[in-house]
Amino acid sequence: MKGQASSVERPAPSVEQGRRDFIATATAAAAALAIGDVALLNAQPSHESRVNDHVSQSRSFKLRYAPHFGMFRQHAPGGLENELEFMASEGFTALEDNGLKDRSVADQELIGRTLARLNMRMGVFVAHTIGWNEANLASGNEAARDTFLQQVRDSIPVAQRVNARWMTVVPGHVDRRLEMSYQTAHVTEALKRAAAILEPHGLVIVIEPLNTLRDHPGQFLSRIPQAYQICRAVGSPSLKILFDIYHQQITEGNLIPNINQAWDEVGYFQVGDNPGRREPGTGEINYRNVFRHIHSRGWQGIVGMEHGNSRPGREGERAVIDAYVAADGW
């Protein structure tokens, strides 16, 4: 009848046939288990491959944001290499380290090797001793200029160890006894000589205007148009502007129009919100729009995260990462 199971009876298997079936089934199961164990063993990645797998599967930021050492110390307490691995695992593809030049050669080489392994780029480091309270370049003093130029020469092997391209220069304090135009000429001459030293090596000085209203009173270089004028006067690919958005929000605001005006001479960006100089979203700057704008102009360089964390501990470190995810998420 349609729908009913067949009533045809099959003979029961013999004891010998049952034994053979059992052995065959057990052998197949053991072989499968052995193959699984081997596959599992072969699938266990080394520490390095686990990191690289994590990097390949992590988020992808639209811009090359560059944290600095110490920013994620609570998540990566094991030292320089561990911090870099954590940065990479969170999707960051660059590093900046103002104090790189003061590190041992061994540490510089370790940083260089680790950056290469993680496919990260090196951002800025400071090339010289900054005259926070003295006019080391603006005064025209030849001894001060010669010292500066030697420090630039000494920065070349440092840059080479970490495959860096950019180094920060701050011309120092104003000379209160000298008219500003003369000071500009002195700074321009010093930077022209420094650029000539670096140009054969493909290295670039980025001069950083600093705000004088809150953090660095008395500094010679404070405005983007001022830095633009000096870069144009020098006329070298080895001299560009470090556009620190935090400083320029305080000094002159008008961020996106100034970025557009200076675009051809900008070699590097740094960020920090105002007030407080903490991560994006903690102050008044609309970093979502600023980041979207520089990305729309085809920015392929680095955006240095030169700021502190608004909150302490692991929670504060995670807040920094979340802030960049939000600001990058247009």
Instruction: Give the integer Cα–Cα distance in Å for 228 and 199.
Output: 19
Enzyme catalytic residues? 208, 306
Question: If we measure between CA atoms, which residue out of 250, 244, 243, 324 comes closest to residue 287?
Answer: 324
Residue that has been written with the tokens 């480091």 in this structure: 125
Query: Which tokens is 241 given?
Result: 């502007």
Cβ atoms of 285 and 249 within 8 Å: the answer is yes
Query: Which tokens is 176 given?
Result: 């209160």
Residue 298: CA count within 13 A, CB half-sphere: 2
DSSP letter at 267 equals: E
Cβ atoms of 204 and 167 within 8 Å: the answer is yes
The amino acid sitting at 179 is: E
Q: How far is CA 12 from CA 5, 15, 19, 75, 279, in A?
A: 19, 9, 13, 66, 77
Would you give the distance in Å from CA 66 to the centre of its chain? Answer: 2
The CA-to-CA distance between both ends of the chain, in Å, stands at 67
Would you give the distance in Å from CA 286 to the centre of its chain? Answer: 20
List CB contacts of 173: < 8 A, sequence separation 6 or more. 131, 132, 133, 134, 135, 136, 138, 218, 219, 220
